[in-house]
Amino acid sequence: MSAEAERKTENLPQWKKEEVDELESLIADYESIGVVGITGIPSKQLQDMRRGLHGTAVVRVSRNTLQTRALESADLDDLVEHVDGQVGIVATNDNPFALYKELEASKTPAPINAGEVAPNDIVIPEGDTGVDPGPFVGELQQVGANARIEDGSIQVMEDSTVLETGEEVSADLANVLNELGIEPKEVGLDLRAVYSDGVLFDPEDLDIDVEAYESDVQTAAAFARNLSVNAAYPTTATAPTLIAKATGEAKSLGLHAAIEDEELMPDLVRKADAQLRAIAAQIDDEEALPEELQGLEAPAAAPETAEEDASSDDHDESDAEDEEDDDDEDDDDGAEGLGAMFG
């Protein structure tokens, strides 16, 4: 508590000191502290809202001067400027985003009074008003609704915007809306600001679409993972994929190079067998073939990896050169290196 705040508190009557102490204890006991507007909320409805927040947040209403002193004592001067009009202090251990969502969900529709400003466009919907023919049809027309008497009752012929956002509600319009049971505004705790973990959050900072935000994070994570894999940048998340990719590429290389590795031998044998059968099927003179190769049809192509398919043509064109270079010393060294890769 600052020296000035302590001096001001000392000069307070006893009941005010006790109130400030209780507010200070409330602020000290919770991780997130905010200021909420309570203007226009009937006492009973306010009590219902406070009960609805039980277990999530605590709302304490007191005199503005006492709330200000408690906030100053807790070095929450950034919140003091929001203590204006009919306000209260809200305290919670939830994060500010959860608090904002909870307060918005607790708001309920309410009638609007003459002299208030429309929070949004006020529309009288198309349909039967349920009101018997009489002077009320003229009242509807006077406020701008397309209404007339039909089938023994007053009908609104189309959706009629009778007031735009920011305009003042007249007494006539307030009466018409009340007669129709239209409640164009929401009443609830209006979060003005909240302080948490050293950061002051305004309502605009907290008003986010959680589902869209989660989707954006998931998309970004997928792009980052793809970039990491393509750049061969190992992380905890991408290491298994990189290892699997490297294993597949190593196997494809080993098959192309005909490395006599224990793990590759079954594939090499199948590949050689398929090639042998394909050649045997092309020989017309069956007597020239061993008995086990006679009467064979050309088999389906042996399974190959994508890399093997893509490079098969280049491999065939280089077969002659490979045969000429079989005894070349550099090539022998390369084969030994590949063999080492596969144990």
Domain boundaries, the chain: 3-107+188-208, 122-182, 239-341
Question: Comparing 69-78, 191-200, 300-309, which segment has the lowest mean pLDDT?
Answer: 300-309
How far is residue 334's CA from residue 285's CA, in Å, rounded to a whole number?
40
* β-sheet with 147-150: strand ranges across: 127-128, 153-156, 147-150
Q: Left if phi > 0, otherwise alpha if psi is -120 to 50, otherwise beta: which for 115?
A: left
Confidence of residue 3 (pLDDT cuts 50, 70, 90): low
- For 37: left if phi > 0, alpha if psi spans -120 to 50, otherwise beta; the answer is beta
Q: What is 3-107+188-208's CATH topology?
A: Alpha-Beta Plaits (3.30.70)
- Predicted local confidence at residue 311, as pLDDT: 42
- The per-residue pLDDT for range 41-97, each reduced to its tens digit, is 888 888 888 888 888 999 999 999 999 999 999 999 999 999 999 999 999 999 999
Q: Are strands 147-150 and 160-163 parallel, antiparallel or unpaired?
A: unpaired
With a CB cutoff of 8 Å and minimum separation 6, the contacts of 239 are none
| Statement: residue 240 has pLDDT above 70 | yes
- Of all residues in the chain, what percent carry a pLDDT higher than 70? 82
Select from 149, 176, 171 the least CA-distant residue to 160.
Answer: 176
122-182 topology per CATH: Molybdopterin biosynthesis moea protein, domain 2 (3.90.105)
User: Model's pTM, two decimal places?
Assistant: 0.55
- The pLDDT tens digits for 245-270 are 998 898 888 888 888 888 888 988 88
Binned at pLDDT 50, 70 and 90, residue 277 comes out as confident
CA-CA-CA-CA torsion sign (163, 166, 168, 174): positive
Region 207-221: mean pLDDT is 89
C-alpha 87/C-alpha 199 separation (Å) is: 21
Q: What is the mean pLDDT of the chain?
A: 83
Q: How confident is the model at residue 339 (pLDDT cuts 50, 70, 90)?
A: very low
* 24/72 Cα distance (integer angstroms): 10
Q: Which residues of 171-202 are buried (b: 16+ CB within 10 A; e: fewer)?
A: eebbebbeebebebbebbbbbbbbbbeeeebe
